[in-house]
Amino acid sequence: MQNLCRQEQQSTIGRFAPSPTGPLHTGSLVAAVGSWLMAKGGGGTWLLRIDDLDRPRCRQQFEDDILRTLERFGLVWDGAVSRQSANTEQYTAAFEQLQQLGVVYPCGCSRAEIARIATAPHPGEEVVYPGTCRNGLPPGQKPRSWRLRTTGVTVVFDDLRHGRITTDLATSGDFVVKRAEGIFAYQLAVVVDDRLSGVNQVVRGDDLLESTPRQVLLHQLLGWRLPQYCHLPLVTGPGGGKLSKRDNTVSLADGRVAGREAQLLVKALDFLGVRVPAELQGADCCKLLAWAATAFRPELLPWHVAPESLTICLRPCD
């Protein structure tokens, strides 16, 4: 399935969508700054959505801290804050549309059962669903989730940093769009959320690049226009390892960050390819962002980067 056409010229509406399951970390800061620059650099709108789909793990204290932290970095959003928890009715409508199209089916498999049946993946790779319930639930099984069929589906889309991406979705298996307890899965929810807010530009980290073909497919099945995608390089730990969120928070409650927001913002901008001139090194966050919005261009985003340069130090690096 292919649907790749450049959108007509229109006002940019970008967004940042953190989950209130913990404080922001340096990777979140880079994603927030990158999405803000992409939207504001084009004279557009930057929205803030709280992705609170995982209700048991979400905490009001984290949401409050996220909002205060963004404000301290000068990352002020346009309009009111939206929340996934307010969109259940719209998720239901989209799911029912998928049912009418005949592209979803009930699945009775548990994660443990799938892990036992599926071919063992390489370390760090997702377990591919083997299609056990694709042609009907086994006798005695009750549905645990609803999955979307991906057999024979090829998705093509453009990414501003990666270029054209072609994905055979069958290689990643049929994916969950709704769980048995009635909770809608991230893949469907985020597509509906962006549609509701009119988002036409999605800027986020490379860790979500593998999810994008699934979301592109959902946009196509639901008859919705694709947003423009841009996946940013990831902030990693020393040596290129996985970033420790606990040790790299940018929360205001973290004494390492308070009063050093502008210094850390300069590092985030540098990471995104925007070199702050010497005369602005002592400026506050609002002045830095105002300048960066005029200086940033997508082609400045780094591509081949040494792992050590992906680390934004919370301690003075000089």
Torsion of CA 21, 71, 197, 84, to 10 degrees: 20
pLDDT digits (tens, 9 = 90+) for 223-262: 999 999 999 998 887 666 767 666 688 887 766 788 889 9
| CA distance linking residue 149 with residue 248, whole number of Å | 39
CATH number for the domain including 48?
3.40.50.620
DSSP string, 37-83: HHHHTTT-EEEEEE----GGG--HHHHHHHHHHHHHTT-PPSS--EE
Is 184 a member of any domain?
no
- Does a structural domain hold residue 298? yes
Tell me, yes or no, whether 41 lies in a domain.
yes
pTM assigned to the model: 0.90
Residue 204 pLDDT > 80, yes or no?
yes
Is the pLDDT at 273 greater than 60? The verdict is: yes
pLDDT at 212 over 90: yes
pLDDT given at position 314: 52
The answer to whether residue 147 sits within a structural domain is no
Q: What is the pLDDT of residues 35-74, one digit of tens each?
A: 999 999 989 999 999 999 988 889 999 999 999 999 999 9
Mean pLDDT of 190-206: 97
Tally of domains in the chain = 1
How far is it, in rounded angstroms, from Cα 10 to Cα 271?
Answer: 28
| 163-172 pLDDT tens trace | 999 999 999 8
Binning pLDDT at 50, 70 and 90, where does residue 123 land?
very low
Does 295 fall in a domain? yes
> Nearest 5°: phi and psi at 163?
85, -155
Question: Tell me, what DSSP letter sits at residue 199?
Answer: -
Indicate whether 200 belongs to any domain: no
> Within a domain: residue 55?
yes
Point out the least confidently predicted range of 3-7, 198-202, 234-238, 309-313: 3-7
In this structure, what DSSP letter does residue 22 have? S
Residues 6 or more apart in contact with residue 228 via CB below 8 angstroms? 7, 158, 160, 200, 201, 202
What residues make up the domain containing 260? 13-85+234-310
- For residue 257, tell me if it sits in a domain: yes
Question: What pLDDT, on the 0 to 100 scale, is given for residue 310?
Answer: 44
- Determine phi and psi for 80, rounding to 5 degrees: -85, 155
Query: For the chain, percent helix, then strand, then coil, each to nearest 5?
Result: 40, 15, 45
pLDDT digits (tens, 9 = 90+) for 134-180: 999 988 889 999 999 999 999 999 999 999 999 999 998 999 999 98
